Amino acid sequence: MARTVIECSECGQQLSVPQKKGIVECPKCSNEIRLSFAPKVVNTPTLLKKELGFLLIFLAIWLQTNIMWFRINVYDAADIFEGLASMLCFGGIMVVAFADLVRNRGRLIGEQAYPSVSINSPEHTNEISGRQIIPTVAPQFGHKFYIAFVVPLLMIPVSFMIPEMLDWCIHPAFRTCVEVGRGTYIVMLFLPCATALLLMAMGYKQSGTEHDDVYAGARISGILTFAFFVLMSFALMTVSPY
């Protein structure tokens, strides 16, 4: 954590303190000093948005559907193009999932300020210097954020364990098992995403805003678990091992 040097108002002793809220005691005169720092504005490149992730996913789908054309007209190496499509898809999912967290990364270690232009400031100028900047402060992410982020991801192994424990199968060939339809497997694969959606609804209902800790954490895991659901459902409908 960043530190700064302050001076005790009683004895003039200089102290190196962390830039966070709290109370420190001067070792020289035992004077209690209350710390209060203005939240730091975290700047992020404007290119890092969810739209970039969706663009990468679109390129991955386009490349995957045109592999045969690339093999005929560019280079006969399907593995290279399939690997590139997988990398683009994975990168796009990560950008969509974590773009908001990167833009709000200041909340991981403390409060974060978002500069906004005052309504009463002149609108005809595009220069920030000609406007009144009013900082909006978002609080630090608490333990609810991490719980909402981790719990839906932990449901992924659960969605695999339940069919194994109940001995489910789709094709009971050469073994004894409980035969179920593909829809049952798909519902089970949707369990992690459903958990994330439930936590998102709970977080939004509690605060009424998208800045809630539970909502922010569940939104990230919701994107990841939805990608897991789509991928596994596609595999189940095409090359199912069950």
Over 50: is that where the pLDDT of 127 sits? no
Question: How many of the other CB atoms lie within 10 Å of CB of 50?
Answer: 15
Same-domain check for residues 23 and 74? no
Q: Same domain for 133 and 150?
A: no
Total count of domains within the chain: 3
Residue 71 neighbours by CB under 8 Å, 6+ apart? 77, 78, 81
* pLDDT score recorded for residue 164: 87
Is 201 in the same domain as 236? yes
Q: Name residue 14's beta-bridge partners.
A: 7
Pair (155, 221) in one structural domain: yes
Do 118 and 212 lie in one domain? The reply is no
**118 confidence band (pLDDT: 50, 70, 90):** very low
Q: Is 199 within 8 Å of 211 (Cβ atoms)?
A: no
**119 in the same domain as 85:** yes
User: Are both 47 and 15 inside the same structural domain?
Assistant: no
Among 140, 173, 189, the domain-final residue is 140
| Mean pLDDT across 5-34 | 77
Query: For residues 1 and 19, is the Cβ–Cβ distance under 8 A?
Result: yes
**Rounded mean pLDDT of 193-198?**
95
117 has a pLDDT exceeding 90: no
Determine the structural domain holding residue 232 and report its residue range.
Answer: 143-242
Question: 52 and 105 share a domain?
Answer: yes
Query: In this structure, what are the phi and psi dihedrals at residue 116, rounded to the nearest 5 degrees?
Result: -130, 150
- Residue 123 pLDDT exceeds 60: no
Same domain, yes or no, for 233 and 181?
yes
Residue 23 and residue 49 share a domain: no
The domain boundary, picked from 84, 111, 140, lies at 140
Quick one: tokens of 180?
Answer: 């179920």
Residue ending a domain, choose from 83, 106, 140: 140
Question: What pLDDT score was predicted for residue 125?
Answer: 40
**Which span out of 22-26, 136-140, 208-212, 229-233 was modeled with the highest average pLDDT?**
229-233
Q: How far is residue 3's CA from residue 1's CA, in Å, rounded to a whole number? A: 6
Q: Is the pTM of this model over 0.85?
A: no
Binning pLDDT at 50, 70 and 90, where does residue 242 land?
low
CA torsion through residues 47, 49, 51, 52, sign: positive
Q: Does 98 share its domain with 121?
A: yes
3-class DSSP assignment, residue 170:
coil
Distance CA 151, CA 154 (A): 5
DSSP-assigned states of every residue in 22-33 = EEEE-TTT--EE
Is 115 in the same domain as 187?
Answer: no
